[in-house]
Chain A
């Protein structure tokens, strides 16, 4: 299927880029290649990965979700508060997921029913949701998160792999199945590709958009609970500017901000690539300031790669047309 093969190419190059990075860093600093370190890379990509997977849904519709960092913070303080009040961890997690879903749904409502531009709508909710997070705790952090909640995300499976990595993978798989194997997924791609044509095909575009933003909020909720479990405390200021890293991962993974393109696998690899780089630079001892430059360079290179790929595809296409 052409739609897939185009993405596959991208994903293959991302895997190659990650492997090359790992090799280069390991040559400089052999300890980089240890199992512990590789797990650390995965672990580091969980929070950004969850946010990025969610935001990819918004991006594929041709929109954006700037509010993920604030949804992340609300979920942290609300779930934290519930846990401190003695609510059962499983119920708290369900509440957290539901809350993220609803906050995202509200974004979707503004964008689909009120026809606001996604950038502006979520810029508004980014600020408003942040305010809500502060109000809930009165600006104070939520402390002393019970161990039973923390162990749900932090305990190790198969010896040494933290559960949170499986949360990331599970969200990616579910996200992938929705995109590729449900009506909703096809509609989301269709809306991003050509909203007008999608409306005229009889698709309920508003509902699909609302669900896309709800899924984006859900990713942020999961990310928030992972952080809450890791730190054992949560603060309403958490997650500021996280949306930018999430957008970066999605863009590196091949999601087009113009809409219509993007995959879960691509975004997941984009997030892993970013943390591979980040951990690598730390391990080989590069200054923090230079890490920002390297991250920026990767984003630009990935974007340029897309341009080249499109050109090559065009040439191949005309060749094929003749043959």
Chain B
């Protein structure tokens, strides 16, 4: 039996209705003091809404939230922070022009009369940073730090307000593996100091590594709360999605590869970024690019796509040397790039699916200089069918689709342009488990359509599950090329982390 006294947070019959949407439906569970508690569920399960209620962002809801045994109702995030309930956001929002210390104390600066007391400010901030073993100072400018370090500032901000509960919303999404392990050691440290951690993540490995208990939400309902040690991956995923979905990328069948090379890259370099990258891509294969964040994999594919200028090396497409100096040219050569960040680089927010899909090759719908909107719509319908877009509506605004379906629209852009070589940069970033499986299925179908694919991914199970061959990069160099047979994550990590050279 749970001991009521040990619960720092108790959610009691929480319901939240947005206009027409029941985001949370009578959710009740408790979080014990000093535990690391994972909050799991697919996108739209209600995790963010619950966090927003806890942190005072949403102040209107049914039910009660009890903290340390008393019901609270924070009117805004500041009240929650002052009551010791802090949050580290998915995307860290700092003011880059201010110092680290100013960011940590923002809004609650120590004062001397009407002026900010910078001496005390930096002293207090440095004390916290030291406790966290950070290797930067309160006086440094926030803008000079890496993403991981910025996250440390967010944690420090919570500690400055004597946080008792800190929740993390997808903290590892933009961190390197190195930074993730630093984050974990800090979380362990926080836990030792009796601080309760709420942890939201799509990465199950992390949940199994650092969490004590977990709560699964699905469609706004509380499904279960349990000890992590009592459950395995498959059972956990089943709870999250309510159906069997393979969590990992699995190729159902690999194509018989011929020797036809659609893309050959030799000694490609960009001064000061990466050097001497050589590889080829065969028709009908998936070539994986593995490596830690900062290995410059994205820069390599962007250079091939003409976004960055190469300083040396040659690129051949179907055996012919080409000089690609703009994305426009790359598209004409039959390349397609599905960029890492869908929202800022993948699609146009005011466009419906038909326009987003059609954008890469408007010539197809143009006659005598004029566009034929019906042809454009038909074009989109055709690809919506192929990639199983939901809803299958050409006039639906892409921005209103789920993350997975937005990604399908971005893929469809390149089907529409008849790209032969597709480059996917982190294709399932921020996509929920169910949609991931579907994107993997789409990739396999693309191969059968005769496309060849490069996948850049920081998720090792994804690279291992999808690729025919894998190239490992580290710090701007290609360190290993593998045929993907009986490889393990360890094999790749040894090269990616520089254990083996």
Taking Cβ atoms with an 8 Å cutoff, the residues of A that contact B are 1-3, 177, 180-183, 185-187, 189-190, 192-194, 196-204, 260-261, 315, 317-319, 321-323
Contact = CB atoms under 8 A, between A and B. Distances in A.
A203 B350 contact: no
13 contacts: A182-B369, A185-B371, A193-B350, A194-B349, A197-B339, A199-B307, A200-B327, A200-B337, A200-B345, A202-B331, A260-B350, A322-B20, A322-B21
Contact of A203 (B19, B305, B307, B328): B328
B351 A190 contact: yes
A261 B369 CA distance: 22
Contacts of B379: none
B351 A3 contact: yes
B408 interface: no
B76 interface: no
A183 B348 contact: no
Contacts, number: 105
B352 A3 contact: yes
A32 to B, nearest CB: 38
A193 B349 contact: yes
B322 to A, nearest CB: 14
Interface string B330-371: 111000010100001111111110110011101100100111
Contacts of A315: 19-20
Given A183-B363, A186-B371, A200 B351 contact: no
B345 A319 contact: no
Contact of B362 (A3, A180, A186): A186
A177 B359 CA distance: 18
A191 to B, nearest CB: 9
Interface stretch (B83-91, B106-114, B125-133, B395-403): B395-403
Contacts of A3: 350-352, 355
A262 B356 CA distance: 18
A183 B19 contact: no
Given A1-B373, A189-B351, A198 B395 contact: no
B331 A201 contact: yes
B362 A196 contact: no
B355 A186 contact: yes
A197 B327 contact: no
Contact of B351 (A193, A204, A317, A321): A193
Contacts of B397: 2
Nearest to B333: A202
Contact of B359 (A185, A201, A317): A201
A196 B332 contact: no
Nearest to B339: A200
Contacts of A198: 348, 359
B196 interface: no
In the A-B complex, list the 8 residue pairs whose CB atoms are closest, starting with the nearest. A202-B331, A193-B348, A183-B362, A319-B20, A322-B20, A193-B350, A260-B350, A181-B370
Given A189-B351, A318-B20, A319-B19, A197 B395 contact: no
B354 to A, nearest CB: 8
Interface of B: 18-21, 305, 307, 326-332, 337, 339, 344-352, 354-355, 358-360, 362-363, 366, 369-371, 373, 395-397, 400, 413, 417
Contacts of A183: 362-363, 366, 371
A165 B17 CA distance: 53
A202 B360 contact: yes
A203 B356 CA distance: 12
A238 to B, nearest CB: 35
Given A182-B370, A190-B359, A315-B19, A202 B344 contact: no
A196 B344 contact: yes
Nearest to A256: B350
A321 to B, nearest CB: 7
B327 A201 contact: yes
Given A186-B362, A321-B20, A202 B348 contact: no
Given A2-B352, A203-B359, A318 B21 contact: yes
Contact of A2 (B326, B329, B395): B395
Contacts of A204: 326, 328
Contacts of A318: 18-21
B365 to A, nearest CB: 9
A189 B370 contact: no
Contact of A1 (B19, B347, B395): B395
Contacts of B359: 186, 190, 198, 201, 203
A201 to B, nearest CB: 5
A317 to B, nearest CB: 6
A201 B360 contact: yes
A13 B459 CA distance: 51
Contacts of A182: 366, 369-371
B395 A260 contact: no
A320 to B, nearest CB: 8
Nearest to B376: A186
Contact of A197 (B307, B326, B344, B366): B344
Contact of A194 (B21, B305, B344, B373): B344
Contacts of B327: 199-202
B396 A2 contact: yes
Contacts of A196: 344-345
A172 to B, nearest CB: 17
Contacts of B344: 194, 196-197
Given A190-B348, A193-B349, A197-B347, 18 more contacts: A1-B373, A3-B350, A181-B371, A182-B369, A183-B363, A187-B362, A189-B348, A189-B350, A190-B351, A190-B355, A197-B345, A198-B359, A199-B327, A201-B331, A202-B331, A202-B332, A204-B328, A321-B21
Nearest to A315: B19
B307 to A, nearest CB: 7
A321 B21 CA distance: 8
A88 B18 CA distance: 67
A314 to B, nearest CB: 8
